Each structure stands twice: as C-alpha cells, then as structure tokens.
Chain A
C-alpha cells in the first residue's frame, strides 16, 4: 500500500517535470535556454519515472521473492545512469556546436565565450 502511494507520487512528479521540460522547449526564445529546459527537467523527470519502476520492482520482490523483479530494478538503474551521463554530455555538445556555427545567445546580457574566440 505504501509502495503504491510512493509509485503514484514518483510517477506524478516525473510526468510533471517532463511536461514542464516540453513546455520549456516550446516556449523559450533561443537554443541555449531550450537546452536548459530539455536537459535538466526531462532528465530529472525520467529519474523519478525510473525510481517508480525501481520501487515497484523492490516491492514485488519482497512480496513474491521472484528474482526477475530484482533484475528489472537493476537494469532500470543501469538505463538511468546511461541516460543521465549521456544527456549532460549531449547537451554540452549541442551548445558547443550551436556556438561554433555562429548562433549567438539571444537575448543575452553578456557573452564571454564570443569575446574569447574573437
């Protein structure tokens, strides 16, 4: 019962942050601010969705003692680690590429990177 509530809470938080991330992508003015919304919130939301799956796996494992639920939890954690690391690095690659292709952050109050390259 507690596990069910925990799962419901995790799924709710996860979907909320994923939704905010997508709204951010649609709403923000330039590629850098969109990246903020995309990387942070969808990674965080997916962490919570995966946490819900892990809670589900562990609660079923304690209930039935079936080893496949442990496998489910462990694999979910591995998928989550792969996602978190690659999302951060991917965001960095996109930001760098956008800057190299000459797209300046707009609006922006300052751009030290441009001064450096010039």
Chain B
C-alpha cells in the first residue's frame, strides 16, 4: 500500500507541475485535478513495483533530496562541463586511447549504483558498459587512458573524477 501511495503522490505532483496555470481553482481547473488523481492512480497501479523496489525508504528523507539538488547543480555540473571540453578537444584532434577498465566504488544500493553509472556516463570521457552484479563493480569505457594506466587491475574513482569526489557524494545521498 505504501509503494502505491508514494508513487501516486509523485505522479500527481508531476501532473500538477505540468498543468499549473490551467484554471481558477487555485492554479488548476477542477477537471485537471480530477483527471490528475485518476491518471496518477492508474500510473501507480502499473509502476509501483519498479518505482519503489526496496523497503528501506531511505530516499523519503528530505535532507537527501537537498543533497541531491546540490550535487546536480555544483559538482556534477562542473565535472560535466569539463568532460565536454575534454571530449570536444578529442573530437577536434582525434587524440584517443580507449579501453574498458574496472572500478570498485563499493556502493550497496541499486539507486546508488544507478546514480554513479549515470554520473559516469555524463562525465569525463567515461561510459558505463556493464555491472558486476555480485560486487557492484562497474566496467567503464574510457576514451583516453593515461600511458601505463592500463596495467592497473582496479581503477579508483579518483582516477575518473578529478575535481570532486563524486562517489563520496553519491554515498552520502543514497546510502
């Protein structure tokens, strides 16, 4: 029951954001509100088991949301900007030395691994290719591996993110 209500609430809030300014009842028209309730209940009935997959409800804590917002706006965005300048440079010069390496971030939750995988994909010259589900190790395709670095068995996350320790940020948000 709790997964159903939580999913329906999130869907309903999203619906309200998208239909704001439609009428006289507050910001919304009564028809939109009614449809919103209906649609979010249907959505929740279908997708509750994907949306909330573990029963810890760690992410219900608003402090984690605040950290998440700060994470997206400051360290993640700066790393992403640097990544783009780097890739832009490699597009122009064609100077690449690609390969797939293994990193062991030591994250325990699915959401944490998802966030790290997506962060890696959008940041410096790295792309998550696969996950070792037993240990939550990630296989990362790097567009440029430093000379001699390919001999390392396991890469540290500091090798991937040079400005901010993103793995530590994700650990604080998701675990």
Contact = CB atoms under 8 A, between A and B. Distances in A.
Interface of A: 17, 20-21, 23-24, 27-28, 30, 32-33, 35-37, 39-41, 43-44, 67-68, 70-71, 74-75, 78, 84-85, 87-89, 91-92, 95-96, 99, 105, 107-114, 116
A105 B99 contact: yes
A105 B150 CA distance: 14
Nearest to B94: A27
Contacts of A36: 87, 125, 127, 141, 143
A70 B125 CA distance: 36
B130 A110 contact: no
Contacts, number: 119
B98 interface: yes
A44 B84 contact: yes
A113 B88 contact: no
Given A39-B121, A84-B122, A111-B100, A71 B84 contact: no
Contacts of A75: 18
A71 B143 contact: no
Contacts of A41: 84, 87-88, 91
Binding site of A, secondary structure by majority: helix, strand, loop or mixed?
helix
Contact of A108 (B18, B80, B100, B130): B100
Contacts of B80: 40, 44
Given A71-B21, A74-B17, A105-B141, A116 B88 contact: no
A112 B102 contact: yes
Contacts of B128: 92, 95
Contacts of A35: 127, 141
Interface string B138-154: 01010101000010000
